[in-house]
Amino acid sequence: MEVVIEEIVIYGALFLLIGVIVYYYLKSKKKQSLKTEKKVAIAKEEGLFEPVSLYPYIDLSTCIGSAACVADCPEKDILGIVDGVATVINASNCVGHGACFHACPVEAISLRIGTESRGVELPHVSENYETNIKGIYIAGELGGMGLIKNSVEQGEYAMENISKNKKPSKEGILDVIIIGAGPAGISATLTAKKNGLSFLTLEQDSLGGTVFTFPRSKIVMTAPMHLPLYGKVKLYDTSKDELLKLWQKVINDNNLSIREHVKVESIIPQADGAFKVITSTGAEYFSQQVLLATGRRGSPRKLNVPGELSQKVAYRLLEPERIKGKNIVVVGGGDSAVESAMLLMDHNEVILSYRKDKFSRIKPKNRKKIQQAIENQSLSAMFNTNIDSIEETTLFIKLHETDQVINVENDLVYIFAGGELPTGFLKKAGIEITKRHGHILKKHS
């Protein structure tokens, strides 16, 4: 009898202990859930909940709330757990690493672009990166997949598919022309060399594409990647300079030639299945296949105001450390504008002009830094304003609330109003463009 009583006491204590553990576990989960709900509310208020490009879509009927996606995401507060299932928080800040997609143990996450309320225009691209025009392929950001690591992977995979579909050689006709020398284009160029293809790589700006236009000290890559003819690139928190030097080394080591400052105006399909590529200088090249790796930016969006063609107006900031003692106006409210303004503010008088009443859809780190800079009066921020006109030593800024136009002393203007998707260029080649709502993008493992 005593043994039975002892067992009852022991089991009772055990159940009590388990109950206490479960209670505090559930309490902790609830506390974490409430914290995430608060973050979601703030993200919605700041305009960061709605994605602007690639983002993780969570199938709530499949999600088991393991939080593996949260743990593996390299970015902060993109994902969280609410009531036992995953949720996006600051979807606008997702840069498409795809780590969450690979980490999920039940495949409840897919990578998508466009939402039910906000569609995104994308060219038609098949699983092997070929467009609706047989022989024209697309890789990288132009197809919706941003992030350097992802673009490098796509450039390699696309070129491997082009190699598999290699046509018999013809005199005067290359195997492939690669348009764009950013991450996807460089990777594709290296893969073409590896596979023994005859090719030509054209870049309208400089080696690195969009990466080249970033400020010198900007961190552009936070995860290792595989680069064809080189191997694994084991770099973390990599700056623009470091990455460009690596690409230049690989290109030089493999005796590759990339023609910079050559803009392609049109791609014309030929009767024999080949393509004529015409540049802005009138030069013509012929190839059996074409890979487009131009990125989504296309041409910088203009303000279309008097004086915008002045030499003191620029749409990218390359070497901020060389600019000192100037009166500068930076136009825009995105990450590029905010980062550029902060890079310039230590040695110049900087005004940041933004057409909205507050910053939205910028990275939390940038939001915190720019707010501190404004509070410390390291720079001036003029919200609800537009540039009215630009003159040699003066800039005229219009205030929305009063329609008043004020003039400020000015030496330089940097405009970061985004870029325009090269839709006309793509359609001219016959490539279908459709507005996608929740389009699923597949990633390689």
Question: Among 55, 80, 113, where does a domain finish?
Answer: 113
Q: Are residues 109 and 132 in the same domain?
A: no
Please give the residue that has the higher pLDDT: either 144 or 275: 275
pTM exceeding the 0.75 threshold for the entire prediction = no
pLDDT in the model for residue 32 = 84
Q: Are residues 30 and 51 in the same domain?
A: yes
Q: Are residues 91 and 139 in the same domain?
A: no
Q: How far apart are CA 112 and CA 90, in angstroms?
A: 15
Residue 228 lies in a domain: no
Domain residues for the domain of 201 are 123-207+255-298+422-441
Residue 71 lies in a domain: yes
pLDDT in the model for residue 141 = 74
Contact 320, 347 (CB under 8 A): no
Residue 153 lies in a domain: yes
Residue 428 lies in a domain: yes
Q: Are residues 325 and 259 in the same domain?
A: no
Q: In the structure, what pLDDT confidence band is assigned to residue 144 with cuts at 50, 70 and 90? A: low
Averaged over 274-286, what is the pLDDT? 94
How do residues 343-356 score in pLDDT, each as one tens digit?
Answer: 999 999 999 999 99
Averaged over 74-94, what is the pLDDT? 85
Residue 216 lies in a domain: no
Closest CA to 441 of 96, 112, 102, 59: 112
Q: Are residues 276 and 403 in the same domain?
A: no
Question: Among 93, 113, 133, where does a domain finish?
Answer: 113
pLDDT in the model for residue 345 = 95
Closest CA to 306 of 403, 390, 392, 407: 390
Q: Are residues 70 and 179 in the same domain?
A: no
Average pLDDT, the chain: 84
Residue 42 lies in a domain: yes
The yes-or-no verdict on residue 291 having pLDDT over 90 is yes
The yes-or-no verdict on residue 222 having pLDDT over 60 is no
Please give the residue that has the higher pLDDT: either 342 or 123: 342
How do residues 357-414 score in pLDDT, each as one tens digit?
Answer: 888 778 778 888 999 999 999 999 999 999 999 999 999 999 998 999 999 999 999 9
Q: Are residues 75 and 128 in the same domain?
A: no
Q: In the structure, what pLDDT confidence band is assigned to residue 445 with cuts at 50, 70 and 90? A: very low
pLDDT in the model for residue 217 = 55
Q: Are residues 165 and 89 in the same domain?
A: no
Residue 226 lies in a domain: no
Q: How far apart are CA 248 and CA 186, in angstroms?
A: 10
Q: Are residues 32 and 128 in the same domain?
A: no
Q: How far apart are CA 386 and CA 8, in angstroms?
A: 77
What is the domain-level CATH number for residue 53?
3.30.70.20
How do residues 410-437 score in pLDDT, each as one tens digit?
Answer: 999 999 987 767 788 888 889 988 877 7
Q: Are residues 139 and 94 in the same domain?
A: no
What is the domain-level CATH number for residue 166?
3.50.50.60
The yes-or-no verdict on residue 210 having pLDDT over 80 is no
Question: Among 80, 113, 146, where does a domain finish?
Answer: 113
Q: Are residues 384 and 308 in the same domain?
A: yes
Number of domains in the chain: 3
